[in-house]
Amino acid sequence: MAAEIVHARIDYRLIHGQVITKWLKQCGANRIIIIDDGLSKDTFLGQVYKMAAPTGIQVDIVSVKQAANLWAPNKTVKGQIFILFKSVEMAKEAIDAGLNLSELQIGGLENTASRKVVHVGISMDKDDGEKLKSIQNKGTRVYFQTIPGEEIEELDEILRKLD
């Protein structure tokens, strides 16, 4: 069985209760690939995230450059894959480097003083908005949803809240 991306999400918390218990079950993933340049070099923190995953779920942490090669024709990446990004920046870099995503869910962006709350527990600034718009312009549906069953908001609705 070849690899299939069954879900892609930006969540600065990465592997945490909601992701593990709800989203993995909902999308049927059996493997998590975290794409993050910094975390790919931090073996200690990487181990912490790997231990946070449920039994039977393989976790790989790769850089943007490594991610671009994962689906090269000669690779044998297997499984139902849940892709996780820590930031909008990492998602944009991976997509710009050739990662093809049909959809990207925004589930958690860090709340800082310069950001505005735009959805339940999600805050962002104009810079994030511009990056997400450029991802959407490449053909990826970008939507906001923190937990399954919650109402989905599309990127264009969210961007209006930033103005």
Residue 10 pairs in a beta bridge with 85, 106
**Confidence check: pLDDT of 46 > 70:** yes
For domain 3-162, the CATH architecture is 3-Layer(aba) Sandwich (3.40)
pLDDT value at residue 72: 65
**Confidence check: pLDDT of 158 > 90:** yes
C-alpha span between 134 and 5 (Å, rounded): 21
Q: Spell out the domain ranges in the chain.
A: 3-162
Residue 9 pairs in a beta bridge with 84, 105
Span 71-102, pLDDT tens digits: 665 666 788 999 999 999 999 999 999 899 99
Predicted TM-score (pTM) of this structure? 0.93
35-70 burial string, b = 16+ CB within 10 Å, else e? bbbebbeeeeebeebbebbeeebebbbbbbeebbeb
Percent of the chain clearing pLDDT 90 (strictly above): 71
pLDDT value at residue 112: 87
